[in-house]
Structure 1
Amino acid sequence: MNPRRLLPGTGPRRRTRPRTVEPSRFAPRDALAESLAGVLQRPARSALTALGTVLGVGTFVAVLGLTATTSSQIDARFNVLGATQVEIEDVAAEQDEFAGPGFPEDADARVERLNGVRHAGVYYEVRLDAADAVRAAPVGPGAEGEAVDVVAASPGVLNAAVPTLTQGRLYDAYHSRTRQRVAVLGAATAARLGITTLETRPAVFIGDEPFTVIGIIGDVERKADLLLSVVVPRTTADEVWSGTPGRPDARMLVATDLGAAQQVARLAPTALRPDHPEYLKAVAPPDPRSLRTNVTSDLDQLFLVLAGICLVIGAVGIANTTLVAVLERTGEIGLRRALGARGRHVTAQFLAESGALGALGGLIGTSLGTLTVVTVALVRDWTPVVHPATVAAAPVVGLVTGVLAGLYPAWRAARIEPAEALRR
């Protein structure tokens, strides 16, 4: 026997390495697959969850698109108005107190001969005594009278204002030349006086002077105060009230071709009074850019707030539905945790689900919002304006909204203890 042979169990023991537990892994591909499975398992609930984002993002895109489209229309209207209108003031009294009226008798014809002028006319507000109210009848229910402005205007003023008639017609050069006692009313003034139709040939009484109403104006593109006034021929007003042709406070309204306003403003005083052009002051409209910028900025801010509110509503819907999903899947979460899933894995899964629903809702909402802008623009005969940045950012906004909405539910899911979850 070999003395060195060791008895069984008495030899040196082998050192065994401790076994290491392989850490659980949750690759992004796995998170995407799990989130997709979670979404498809409950399609009805997922659709309702995404609906909040669809509405939020769709409203976001539609509001911003309609704001840009409306701003574009405002810009165009400001530009057209600013480039096609001139006002000329009578400042003869400021230059020479004995100068008399600055506008000549044929002021309208002189200015209309200038290149680029469409219509021109002199007007002034008739200064009436307090007792000379405007009445619809000399006696009876319509005899109380209304405090209404009376404007004496050449026919060119009405044409330059580009009115929209609801009834009747405008007076013309014949009425002005023969000093006819006719009147045109704004729709608001006609309603105040109780005049609803011209079939009965109604008349208005300015003081004790009757004027036959021949037209009612519903809207104008320029000089909106005409809608609140009684408009009579200037020559008739000169004869009835002042007896002096041309009032020192008279003004002229000139409508020009697009882009001709500045040139007409330079030439009109000389064309009207070549002997004393300083008696007349032509005023082209101020640059509307500052006012236009303020209007569009206010619209942008208002509609952006509304879009933000819609997004918050969509986020609340996603958060509520995701939280309900966490409570319903408590057993599933506990089983995953018992099999080795960590809290961050559960968090990633639920964030991926809410983010996927948000992104899907963002894509659908972007399409619906863009379609809404185009439809409204076509109905209104506008040019649709949708910024590419809005279309590109909207799905990202939906994704971010979904992820933010899922933060709290995902945090709640990660804090579920496996033992507690399995006992439920």
Structure 2
Amino acid sequence: MLSRVGRARRGAPLPGIRRSSFTPRDLLAEALAGMLQRPVRSALTMLGTILGVGAFVAVLGLTATASSQIDARFNVLSATEVTVEDIAREQDQFAGSAFPDDASDRVERLNGVQHAGILWTVKPRRSAAELVVTAAPVGGSRGETLNVVAAAPSALRAAEPQLAQGRLYDDFHTDARQRVTVLSSGIAARLGITTLETKPAVFIGGQPFTVMGIIEDVQRQPDMLLSVLVPQTTAVELWGRPTEGAKMLIATDLGAARQVAGEAPTALRPDHPEYLKAVPPADPKSLRTSVTSDLQQLFLLLAGVCLVIGAVGIANTTLVAVLERTGEIGLRRALGAQGLHITAQFLAESGTLGALGGLIGTAIGTLTVLVVAWMNQWTPVMHPVTLATAPLIGLATGVVAGLYPARRASSVQPAEALRG
């Protein structure tokens, strides 16, 4: 027969004494009482978890919202843009320009095409001085060498420019080979042109060009903002046909870009479609992934750092609480509380701190996504899995952080604690 001391050491109940119990209700009540005894410390302890979970929710929410916005803009602009490049010289070194004279008319007859026009960067015939641009008469100023781009009127329309002043040149100016130009607002400012009311002119290699319009922005082909735009027929007359680098810009209806890209080379050159290379829009899924993946990884790492800081804070606070309440723990053990009960109590406290921090962090992260979306006039996107997982991450952080302090509390011996 085991002695009473042997029974106690083995954890078996003594005769006539009922084993102590600790219900979940008692566990929660003790955890809340421990937290409310020091509310300021509990709030500061939760801060790391709040920041970590909040950053986690905000990053995933903003990433999903930005991805949705990227998709929308891609569908409106990039998904309706096709570029056809002249690669005739790669196929046959003696071949001329792959684009026929009626290239725009041929492509614009395809279903789904809104505008299509050829453009290329002008190359000087003899010296770079032929492309020196100045806003004063010959010899009046030194000028500067700028990109001169020959663009058909339909290419300008396909680029969807936003006019600040004046107008774009049209088919009349092209057919008459008039020397007119369109500038971006940045180029105009560099040349000292601020208004079109005085009918300003620029000189390209000493040749006068009337400035018809100033554009503020373009939806496609942003290189136009760094160039002086002239009609393609005028460019051919002054500097000759392009030997390389010519391309066609095509604006299509939504959903028609890939079909147009497949048909355009044959429509332009049914005899040699291999002379032309059509570049359809990129896959929106891969574009979204490449744009958001790096940013998402960076901020998720930041969220992880915040969670680690929160876990350290919870572990530190729980350990301090164990040291401060050594007498209380010893008294509980002397009254019959088992080591498992003490462990559960402190795990409940740390887990509750983590769970509350996770809930508050989830709310703050969600509010951040809503505010950012509202300020940018976006549609907020939040995945239900993210909202459901975030508080659990806070709970797990608190429980893991409380493992060591709880184990240490359970190892307190009643006699030693009461003696101290």
Report TM bin, short chain.
Answer: 0.7 to 0.9
Q: Could you tell me the TM-score, scaled by structure 1's length?
A: 0.79
5 Å matches for 1:80-229?
Answer: 80=76, 83-93=79-89, 100-128=96-124, 129-132=127-130, 134-138=132-136, 143=141, 145-186=143-184, 189=187, 193=190, 195=192, 197-198=194-195, 203-229=201-227
Q: 1:252 aligns with which of 248, 261, 264?
A: 248
User: CA 1:327/1:87 → structure 2, altered by over 3 Å: closer, same or farther?
Assistant: same
Q: 2:228 aligns with which of 227, 230, 241?
A: 230
User: CA 1:322/1:163 → structure 2, altered by over 3 Å: closer, same or farther?
Assistant: farther
Which residue is 1:391 aligned to?
A: 387
For residues 92-135 of structure 1, what are the alpha-carbon distances to aligned partners after superposition, in whole Å with 9 as ceiling and x for unaligned? 55566665433333322332233211111111111133334644
User: CA 1:343/1:230 → structure 2, altered by over 3 Å: closer, same or farther?
Assistant: farther
Structure 2, unaligned runs of 5 or more: 5-13
Corresponding letter in the other structure for 1:406:
G
Corresponding letter in the other structure for 1:389:
V
Matched, 1:285 2:274: no
C-alpha distance in 2, partners of 1:413/1:203?
Answer: 87
Q: What SS class does the counterpart of residue 349 from structure 1 fall into?
A: helix
Which residue is 2:399 aligned to?
A: 403
User: CA 1:98/1:400 → structure 2, altered by over 3 Å: closer, same or farther?
Assistant: closer
Which residue is 1:42 aligned to?
A: 38
Question: How far does residue 393 in structure 1 lie from its aligned partner after superposition?
Answer: 0.8
Which residue is 2:70 aligned to?
A: 74
5 Å matches for 1:237-316?
Answer: 237-242=235-240, 244=241, 249-273=245-269, 276-278=271-273, 280-285=275-280, 287-288=282-283, 289-316=285-312
Question: How far does residue 232 in structure 1 lie from its aligned partner after superposition?
Answer: 2.1
Moved more, 344-353 or 85-94: 85-94
Is the Cα contact below 8 Å between 2:104 and 2:118 reproduced in 1? yes
Corresponding letter in the other structure for 1:179:
R
Question: How far does residue 69 in structure 1 lie from its aligned partner after superposition?
Answer: 1.9
Which residue is 2:10 aligned to?
A: none
Corresponding letter in the other structure for 1:283:
A
Is the Cα contact below 8 Å between 1:198 and 1:213 reproduced in 2? no
For residues 14-45 of structure 1, what are the alpha-carbon distances to aligned partners after superposition, in whole Å with 9 as ceiling and x for unaligned? x9x85656654444433222102112333343
Question: How far does residue 65 in structure 1 lie from its aligned partner after superposition?
Answer: 1.2
Question: How far does residue 160 in structure 1 lie from its aligned partner after superposition?
Answer: 1.2
User: CA 1:121/1:22 → structure 2, altered by over 3 Å: closer, same or farther?
Assistant: same
Question: How far does residue 322 in structure 1 lie from its aligned partner after superposition?
Answer: 3.4
User: CA 1:252/1:334 → structure 2, altered by over 3 Å: closer, same or farther?
Assistant: same
Q: 2:318 aligns with which of 318, 322, 329?
A: 322
Corresponding letter in the other structure for 1:43:
P
Is the Cα contact below 8 Å between 2:135 and 2:191 reproduced in 1? no
Moved more, 215-224 or 383-392: 215-224
For residues 199-238 of structure 1, what are the alpha-carbon distances to aligned partners after superposition, in whole Å with 9 as ceiling and x for unaligned? 5665544333344444444443322322332222222222
Structure 1, unaligned runs of 5 or more: 1-14
Which residue is 1:10 aligned to?
A: none
Q: Could you tell me the TM-score, scaled by structure 2's length?
A: 0.80
Q: What SS class does the counterpart of residue 297 from structure 2 fall into?
A: helix
Corresponding letter in the other structure for 1:237:
A
Question: How far does residue 314 in structure 1 lie from its aligned partner after superposition?
Answer: 3.0
**CA RMSD, Structure 1 to Structure 2 (Å):** 3.6
Q: What SS class does the counterpart of residue 101 from structure 1 fall into?
A: coil
- Bigger Rg, structure 1 or 2: 1
Question: How far does residue 251 in structure 1 lie from its aligned partner after superposition?
Answer: 1.5
Moved more, 53-62 or 286-295: 286-295
Task: Count matched residues.
Answer: 404
